[in-house]
Structure 1
Amino acid sequence: MNLAEAIILKNTEKHPLKAAIGFKKKDAGWKELSWQKFGEIVFKTANALRNAGIQENDKVAIYSDNSSEWMIFDLAAMAIGAISVPIYSTNNAEQAEYIIDDSQAKIILVGDQAQYDAALQILQKESSSLETVIISKKAVWIKKEFSSFYLEDFIAKASPEFECCPKEYDDAATIIYTSGTTGTPKGVVLTHGNFIRALDAHFEFFKFKNFEEELSLAFLPLTHVFERSWSLLCLYGGARVYFLEDPKNISKALEEVKPTMMCAVPRFFQKVYAGVLEKAEEGSSLKKKIFGWAVETGWQTAELKRNERPVPFGLKIKEAVADTLVFSKIKKRMGGRLWFLPCGGASLSPEVTKFFESVGIHVTVGYGLTETTATLTLFPLTHFEHGTSGKPLPGVELRIGENGEIQARGNGIMKGYYNRPEETRKVFTEDGWFKTGDAGKIDDKGNLVITDRLKDLMKTSNGKYIAPQPVENLLTNNNFIQQIVLIAEGRQFVSALIVPNFEFLKDYLKKNNIPFTQWEDIVKNEKINDFYKEKIKELQGELSDYEKVKRFTLMPAEFDINAGEITPTLKVKRGVVLKKYADIIEEMY
């Protein structure tokens, strides 16, 4: 079955007037489209693409920030049997050109002026496969003589009457180029069947009640398999999805949209957690006691619910008081209605998931890759185990191979890397299992426990193996540390490059009468370095001596997407950072 057909036709027939998507235009409030209107626009766009000469299995690229147009274009491309190719909005012209050339995309949707200018540059090259550029925003200045059209004009004369191109489960739906922390991006081919079976498996796993009443806010990049799969799942199940264009506006959007569900990366939860703890620490002794009591009360309740045990009446009363005094204020800052938050992209410390569970927000930790259509494992609603990555979805099998590598097979496993048969062969075993490149184990209750990326495991000169992620998570859970990269491979001891949380550090400077000049000077300030030494010493108390950071360098600016230092989902590209800051690292040894 065609994925676009499975989403659009079912819901337009079931509840045509119910809201499907929400979006916010500049200087205006949030608006919604009903399923009927959403379906009409998707099918008008599909007809327009067909009229422009796009045929079955042609490639259609999307190079834009999150928007309703992004999702419309994606579903329209799949509806005609074309293959959509998302490009990160943060990619520069050279990176975008590589993906367009590799996939041989014919049409591209762009969002802003910089993306249009980059696409136009590619379009004008004789060797390029690109034929047409479509622009979602009228604010973008375009050159119509170079086959450039605003989306509104492109679809204006197209008919909303449309029959989706029939598709088999094994037919390609999309090619997603891995953002990757290492190596050249490879195009992961995912099929209509990968998506549909994975979506069905989620509903079988969770058995949601009244899912059509849920509202999700899409703020992670739709280009990434995590947000895209989650947003497609929400639409597939008839829930509303609001699209946030600029993730920097997440705090304001949460209060305006008041979502009930939202997927996020670990850094989002770490920042909320650290911020709450900092505020509690600044309060009076009475407020600290109330906060501690509330968290303990919430934890007792959460543990009973996790194990599906009844909550005594007295504890229910205590929980209601704790919610009124403490938790409601935390939840209000997140919109007030969030209860279900899938978390992926990297590991999340158990103390963070336990905290949110105490507050009454279920963080559904999961594990997966682009090559597995996102989810392999995740927390169920009950009987999950903190500190693990949950249990396999229905239709997913896991095993632990050589060197502790997690291997998988099942519904979501990719068809392969586009035009790279040799690379595809390398990631599959002879008996057909996909090799994830991650190390882990399966506990006696069937939960997956991630140890680390096999490529990231470090061996000190003393022969000790160190998995950097758990240590990095431990330190970035603190509100004064924004990013960190551990160094240990072939070294006598562990060192680190640390990016401070500049917002919290600025407050610290004021409170301690340290004049602010520029961050390059502040990170070299002796008092600031002493402060971080004490902070790190305190945080590392439970670690083995060989795992502890012995020396560190404070960085004057965050690792940056545009500089290629982090991925669009905020994972540090370790190899890039180690190479770029090699001189600074050597000074620590």
Structure 2
Amino acid sequence: MHDHSVYRKFCDSARRFPASVCLTAEGESLSYAEVHQRVLSLARYLQHELHVSQHEAIIVVADQSRWWLIVSLSIQAIGAVEFPVESAKPANEIAALAEKTGSKVIIVLDTAAAGQLLSLRIVQRSLALIVASGTEPNATTLGNIFESGVGNQRLLSERTIAVSAIIATSGTTGVAKQVPVLQRSFLHAMRVIPRVLKLRRSDVFLSCLPSWHLYARLVEYVAIATGGSVVYSSIPALAGALKTSGVTVFPSFPEIWEAVYRQIISQIEKSKMRIILRSAIRTVIKTDRIFEYWFSRTRYDKQTPSIFAIVKLAYLLPVRWVLQRTIFRAIRRRVSPTLRYAIMGDAPLPLVVDETLRALGFQVLEGYGSTEQCVTALRRPTRNFPGAVGRVLPGVHVTIEALENSGSGAALLGEICVTGPNVFAGYFADMQALKSNPQPPLQYKTGDIGSLDSRGNLVVVGRKINAFRVATGERVFPELVENVLRGSRFVGWVVVTESGDRTPVALVVPDFHELLQWLAQHSYAPALAEYAERPEKHGDFWLPLLAGVAKGLYQKEFERLLIDSGLSAAARPTRIHVLPRRFHRGAELTQTLKPRREFIRREFKSVIFAKRE
């Protein structure tokens, strides 16, 4: 029975491990039994006091919250439907969502958003508002609900429906779509991922992800399926949490590990052993490239190793083994003394970052999925090759719908099509449609382009909608190029697109702090922090530098990265434009920090289509 819903799966873990720590935040820990008691208290309150029925909507407003898991499980226990939204969403949009879904309950887990949302009850007086904490007279707090739930023996009428939650996509191509994610999709991940990664009950999962994102809830669901514990940390406190929380599994996104990489490289450059360390890292990367050529395909077509290079593995592999267990181990322990895996979702790491972290012995495991397909593929610790997303998960079937002129056999390139229990059943239309039993389509066409080898290893090269052909007729996937260029520590964001003369052009947003530090070191500019923190206010300072010496720096950096990337000459940008401002969420970036390419192309049209000098 425990496989019928995420809630029942949690109940199974609570029964087996009642005294084990389930959640830890701000120095406070709750056991599985304590979490279960709070889940029951809130579920009874929703069902008996607020009269929430099966298939009714409940809106949950939160970013990262230690209460989210309890709230989510309570909603699923009574067969209601959770609509998670970010706390930055305007009150009028939440009001519109409440009206569309007929929701009569809003749960606010973000203190800053609670005051704004109280005004929503003036517009819709039938709404019940539950907040995480506070003394607002028109809201009920979770603390009060948990306290009143102690000793409450009212029978919970448990309900199970096919839909777990309605989660919004990132909206990279326009308006975000709402996806009813099925119980079966989460349950598949909760069964399979612990098995393929050999997760243990003793594992500690460090969570810094926003609660409204699919990735965040997937991580916590997998944690409770193993009987492991979840430790919450804010982004600013991550460095300390990695060192002191006992974390063994760290699900994260690229920006975090790019920052870790840059910190490591910075420390190496300050070390008296920097020449030896640089050489050691290059040696291990070279070893890995030879090894990966024979055992895995990746996004990048590297030079074929010679027979002599393959013979060199006989001594390179032992050298790699020694380095990763001595010098590199000390580097890893400075980041986290207990970390086993870092699971990378949402987007791939830059190639040089991925290769360097792997060389140092970090197990950064990239996965592939989306809101519509949950998780389709995941790298394994024993087959962790940069440039690939790993093997397709058991129970999932992937086919490649070939593009024209895409090759054949093992090199077949085309749209990735997925079937299996992880696939969604169509986008949200209305609450009435959810009452039927949604069935996944026979095949989900992802819109992603990739290839699949005979061993089930999946390679993703980019989005079909983003690809373009250059003047030579070659198809270019901008994500591949960007993934290489982001390896420079001076890059904050980079977007590659098609210019007016049908060649690739790169729009670069600097990492202003790193760039300013370099300019100061080379006596080009004073190291005034204000210039880096608010570049838009200091255009007179930045514009001449970005058009001159800084542009030259980026050209040299990109040439260094591209020459060893395996990308064809046609895919390499012919022009670089360095922008004197940052990208912002809600404008150039989605809420999940993905570039909105059409918006960027419109905003910087004059730069993209400017004639070459």
TM bucket normalised to smaller: 0.7 to 0.9
Looking at structure 2, the residues matched to 535 and 352 of structure 1 have their Cα atoms a distance apart, in angstroms, of 14
SS in 2 for 1:470: helix
- 3-state SS of 1:232 partner: helix
Which region of structure 1 is more displaced relative to structure 2, 462-471 or 317-326? 317-326
SS in 2 for 1:38: helix
Question: 556, 562, 568: which one pairs with 2:580?
Answer: 556
Aligned to 2:394: 394
Residues 176, 165 of structure 1: alpha-carbon distance in 2 compared, 3 angstrom cutoff: farther
Tell me, yes or no, if the aligned pair for 1:271 and 1:479 is still in contact at 8 Å: no
Q: In structure 2, what is the Cα distance between the partners aligned to 1:216 and 1:498? A: 34
Distance in 2 separating the partners of 1:532 and 1:350: 17
Partner of 1:23: 25
**Structure 1 residue 505, shift from structure 2 partner:** 1.5
Mean CA deviation greater in 348-357 or 15-24: 348-357
**1:373-452 equivalent positions in 2, closer than 5 A:** 373=374, 375-401=375-401, 403=403, 404-419=414-429, 432-452=442-462
Cα distance change, pair 586–114 in 1 and its aligned pair in 2 (3 A) = farther
Residue 364 (structure 1) shift: 1.5
Q: Compute the displacement of 1:33 (Å).
A: 0.8
Write the distance in 2 (CA, Å) between the matches of 1:432 and 1:522: 53
Deviation at 1:488, TM superposition (A): 0.6
1:356 is matched with which residue?
A: 357
Instruction: Give me the whole-angstrom Cα distance separating, in 1, the residues matched to 2:467 and 2:315.
Output: 49
Q: Which residue identity lines up with residue 15 of structure 1 in the other structure?
A: F
Aligned to 1:199: 190
Deviation per residue, 1:65-116 (Å, 9 max, x gap): 2122111111111111111111123433355445444443322222335422
CA 1:214–1:153 in structure 2 vs 1: closer, same or farther (change >3 Å)?
Answer: same
Equivalent residue for 2:231? 242
Query: So what's the TM-score if we normalise by structure 2?
Result: 0.83
Aligned position for 2:239? 251
SS of 1:179 mapped into structure 2: coil
Aligned to 1:68, the other structure's residue is in SS state coil
Alignment of 1:570-589 (within 5 A): 570-587=593-610
Instruction: Pick one of 512, 515, 518 that aligns with 2:526.
Output: 515
Change (3 A) 1:191 1:167: farther
Which of 106, 109, 115 in structure 1 is aligned with 2:107? Answer: 109
Tell me: CA distance 1:541–1:10, structure 2 relative to 1, closer, same or farther (3 Å): same
Q: Please give the per-residue CA displacement for 1:401-451, whole angstroms capped at 9, x wherever unaligned.
A: 253211111011112211179x99xxx999710111111111233211112
* 1:282, distance to aligned residue in structure 2 (A): 4.7
Deviation at 1:579, TM superposition (A): 2.2
Alignment match of 1:187 (pick from 178, 194, 197): 178
Task: Spell out, residue by residue over 1:142-187, the C-alpha distance to the aligned partner (whole angstroms, 9 max, x if none).
Answer: 3x2xx4222212443235657665555x611111111220222222
Quote how far apart the aligned CAs of 1:314 are.
12
- Give the AA of the match of 1:575: E
> Is 1:539 aligned to 2:561, yes or no?
yes
Using the alignment, how far apart are the partners of 1:358 and 1:539 within structure 2?
Answer: 17
| Matched-pair contact (CA < 8 Å) for 1:460–1:490 | no
- Aligned residue type for 2:515: L
Aligned Cα root-mean-square deviation (Å): 3.3
Relative to structure 1, is the Cα distance of residues 89 and 2 closer, same or farther in structure 2, using a 3 angstrom cutoff? Answer: farther
Change (3 A) 1:7 1:161: farther
TM-score norm. by structure 1 comes to 0.86
What's the CA shift for 1:576?
2.1
Letter in structure 2 aligned against 1:377: A
- Aligned counterparts, 1:69-218, within 5 A: 69-126=67-124, 131-138=127-134, 142=136, 144=137, 147-159=138-150, 161=153, 166=158, 171-208=162-199, 211-218=200-207
In structure 2, give the amino acid aligned to 1:365: E
Separation of aligned partners in 2, 1:508 and 1:301: 31
In structure 2, relative to structure 1, the CA distance for the partners of 1:524 and 1:238 (3 Å cut) is: farther
Q: 1:287 aligns with which of 269, 274, 277?
A: 274
Look up the equivalent residue of 1:67 and give its one-letter code.
Answer: S
Q: 2:108 and 2:158 mapped to 1: Cα distance? A: 28
Q: CA deviation at 1:235?
A: 1.2
Query: Hey, what's the Cα distance between the residues in 1 that align with 2:515 and 2:598?
Result: 28
Q: State yes or no: 1:273 paired with 2:295.
A: no
User: In the alignment, does 2:530 pair up with 1:529?
Assistant: no
8 A contact 1:42–1:72 mirrored in 2: yes
CA distance in 1, matches of 2:23, 2:290: 35
SS at match of 1:9: helix
Q: Residues of 2 paired with 1:534 and 1:299: CA distance?
A: 22
Mean Cα deviation higher: 475-484 or 249-258: 249-258
SS at match of 1:439: strand
What is the alpha-carbon distance in structure 1 between the residues aligned to residue 327 and residue 172 of structure 2?
A: 43
Residue segments in structure 2 that go unaligned for 5+ positions in a row:
296-312, 404-413
Aligned in 2, Cα 1:250/1:577: closer, same or farther, shift over 3 Å? farther
* Gapped regions of structure 1 (runs ≥ 5): 25-29
Cα distance in 1 for residues equivalent to 2:263 and 2:383: 28
Q: Per the alignment, do residues 112 and 193 of structure 1 end up closer, same or farther by CA in structure 2, a change over 3 Å counting?
A: closer
Structure-1 separation of matches of 2:491 and 2:56: 46
Cα distance in 2 between the residues matched to 1:449 and 1:264: 20
Of 15, 33, 37 in structure 2, the residue corresponding to residue 40 of structure 1 is: 37
Shift of 1:463: 3.9
Q: 1:321 to 1:535 in 2, by over 3 A?
A: closer
